[in-house]
Amino acid sequence: MKTLTLLALSLAAKGGHHCPGFSHDGRCYRFFRAPKTARNAEVFCQKLSAGGHLASITSQHLHREVMRLILRANGAPTHVWVGGLRYLTTGRFVWLDGSSWIYADWRPGKPRPTSNVDNCVELLANGKFNDLRCSETEAFICSHPE
């Protein structure tokens, strides 16, 4: 009981913020198992916390940490939405939170060069990026400022 009280006081002293997933560069990353379309997952992440979005995977290190989170939270690898989106006018991918697209680990043959259908980005169970129809439903990873 004493430990629980100390933990509660410690969290209160820090403003009550606790990241149930993992923290990286001032952001909290969280896994959600309930399948949603990419759009509905993004809306969920935005409502979860101010500044929240589907997660941007901007480095190999962050990619590894996200894959560990999925395994730890889900018990097994699974497909998840992340915050990548193809601009239809340019065909380029962007991160919904405005992060620079400086890292990607695409599945061989992906992304399709001129797809008007597969415009959202998922992580496959093996960790590779894949472009997919945004209307599919999957688990997802949110990130938000701590």
Report whether the peptide linkage leading into residue 113 is cis, meaning its omega lies within 30 degrees of zero: no
Torsion 121-122-124-128 (CA) sign? positive
pTM score of the predicted model: 0.86
Three state DSSP letters for 18-60:
CCCCEEECCEEEEEEEEEECHHHHHHHHHHHCCCCEECCCCCH
What pLDDT is recorded for position 22? Answer: 97
Percent of the chain with pLDDT over 90: 79
Q: What is the mean predicted confidence (pLDDT) over 99-124?
A: 90
Residues in CB range of 25: below 8 A, 6 or more apart: none
Least confident of 3-7, 113-117, 124-128: 3-7
pLDDT at 77: 94
Q: What is the pLDDT of residues 11-48, one digit of tens each?
A: 333 445 689 999 999 999 999 999 999 999 999 999 99
Region 86-112: mean pLDDT is 93
pLDDT of amino acid 8: 38
Which pLDDT band holds residue 52 (cuts at 50, 70, 90)? very high
pLDDT at 95 (0 to 100): 98
CB atoms within 10 A of CB 88: 9
Residue 21: C-alpha distances to residues 16, 58, 109, 112, 145 (Å): 15, 17, 31, 32, 13
- Mean pLDDT over 86-97 rounds to 91
- Domains of the chain, earliest start first: 29-145 (3.10.100.10)
